[in-house]
């Protein structure tokens, strides 16, 4: 009888050991198994959603199909009280990721980040259109005036042109367009402060604001990186000599909606606060969003005797030191 009892106990112990081993192996299978995905998928986790509900949702999508996976997940959170709850947001799941890898991503809040690039030389109106058209941004400023936006950003009375740094910004779904603008404005503050601190000592510019204005003109005058400092040098030399800047982009900006794409001689004679053919000095505000390179060129110009430049037609410019040489260049490259 005693032998029988010992035998039964041994059998039961062996059975328990085997069952525990099989359960452990199945749990490891659960942790390591990838969701059944043929291509990346977007997962939206709402506030308050629990991991059990996620597994149920994955099963409903046929991403998981074993009923006891739900049990293993419950057990995981009971045995690991330090495990954090999943965080709300939008996640991008890739084929091959395991259940545990995905849960760890959700627990850490590693949400998918969308991107929006502000190109150098854009105007603020173009930036607003891009923000309004981005599917992942929440349009808080719809219907607001530019002045409303600047006031909400804590910059009441500041003209918005040039105040937002051209860069590529990454952000989670649901960020407001106002929060995006705040981030871009702060980035411009930092970039402008860095450039101003690194400026040449003998610049005819008195404030960072003037450097921002000049950088915006440089940005609109050329897309050739190696020309920025040279064009900056022309404008700085003109300012030093008291000459008018005579730059077309400022005239175009001053014409606003009246500009039809063709700049005429009468436009150059039409006085506006931005017409640098009729007025001396810099215009009252920036005329575009300058990038870091244009900011650096504005405060570190290539000084020379050059006072004029004209477009060659291939994106580059011909620089001249005298009016006679400039007129020859105009006849060659513009009048053919």
pLDDT digits over 159-189, tens only?
A: 999 999 999 999 999 999 999 999 999 999 9
77 to each of 30, 56, 70, 72, 85, how far by Cα in Å? 14, 15, 11, 9, 9
Give the phi and the psi of residue 35 in degrees, each rounded to 5.
-65, 150
Nearest Cα residue to 103 out of 23, 45, 144: 45
Beta strand segments in 50-152, E: 89-93, 113-117
Q: Mean pLDDT for each consecutive 10-residue tract of the chain (336 residues)?
A: 55 55 63 79 83 75 69 67 75 86 87 96 97 95 96 97 98 96 98 96 95 97 90 96 95 92 90 96 97 97 92 87 91 79
Model pLDDT, residue 7: 47
Calpha distance 234→308 (Å, rounded): 7
Q: What burial class does residue 276 get, using C-beta atoms within 10 Å of its C-beta: 0-12 exposed, 13-18 middle, 19+ buried?
A: buried
d(CA 305, CA 264): 29
Query: What is the per-residue pLDDT for 211?
Result: 98
Q: DSSP 3-state assignment of 176?
A: strand
- Burial of 234 per CB tally in 10 Å (0-12, 13-18, 19+): buried
The rounded distance, in Å, linking the Cα atoms of 115 and 118 is 10
Tens digit of each residue's pLDDT (9 = 90 or more) over 206-263: 999 999 999 999 999 988 888 999 999 999 999 999 999 999 999 999 999 888 888 8
Predicted TM-score of the model (pTM)? 0.84
Tell me whether residue 272 is exposed, middle or buried, using C-beta atoms within 10 angstroms of its C-beta: 0 to 12, 13 to 18, 19 or more: middle
Residue 253 three-state SS: helix
Q: Where are the extended beta strands (E) located within 197-327?
A: 308-311, 317-320
pLDDT computed for residue 231 by the predictor? 96
For the chain, the C-alpha Rg in angstroms (whole number) is: 32
- Angle among Cα 186, 187, 191 to the nearest 5 degrees reads 120
């Amino acid at each position: 009888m005693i032998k029988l009892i010992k035998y039964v106990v041994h059998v039961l112990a062996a059975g328990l050991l085997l069952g525990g081993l099989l359960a452990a192996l199945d749990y490891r299978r659960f942790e390591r198994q990838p969701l059944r995905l043929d291509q990346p998928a977007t997962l939206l986790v709402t506030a308050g959603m629990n991991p059990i509900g996620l597994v149920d949702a994955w099963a409903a999508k046929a991403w998981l199909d074993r009923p006891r996976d739900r049990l293993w997940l419950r057990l995981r959170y009971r045995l690991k009280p330090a495990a954090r709850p999943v965080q709300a947001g939008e996640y991008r799941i890739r084929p091959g990721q395991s259940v545990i890898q995905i849960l760890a991503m959700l627990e850490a809040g590693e949400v998918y980040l969308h991107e929006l690039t502000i190109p150098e030389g854009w105007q603020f109106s173009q930036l607003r259109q891009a923000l309004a058209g981005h599917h992942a941004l929440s349009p808080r400023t719809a219907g607001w005036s530019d002045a409303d936006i600047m006031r909400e950003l804590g910059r009441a009375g500041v003209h918005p042109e040039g105040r937002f740094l051209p860069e590529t910004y990454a952000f989670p779904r649901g960020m407001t367009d106002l929060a995006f603008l705040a981030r871009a404005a702060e980035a411009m503050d930092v970039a402008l402060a860095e450039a101003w601190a690194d400026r040449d000592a003998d610049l005819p510019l008195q404030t960072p604001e003037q450097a921002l204005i000049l950088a915006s003109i440089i940005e609109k005058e050329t897309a050739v990186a190696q020309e920025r400092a040279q064009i900056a040098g022309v404008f700085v030399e003109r300012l030093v000599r008291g000459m008018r800047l005579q730059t077309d982009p400022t005239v175009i900006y001053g014409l606003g909606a009246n500009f039809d794409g063709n700049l005429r001689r009468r436009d150059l004679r039409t006085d506006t606060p931005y017409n640098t053919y009729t007025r001396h000095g810099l215009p009252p505000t920036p005329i575009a969003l300058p990038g870091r390179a244009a900011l650096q060129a504005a405060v570190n110009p290539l000084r020379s005797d050059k006072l004029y430049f004209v477009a060659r037609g291939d994106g580059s410019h011909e620089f001249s030191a005298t009016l006679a040489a400039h007129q020859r260049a105009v006849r060659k490259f513009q009048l053919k």
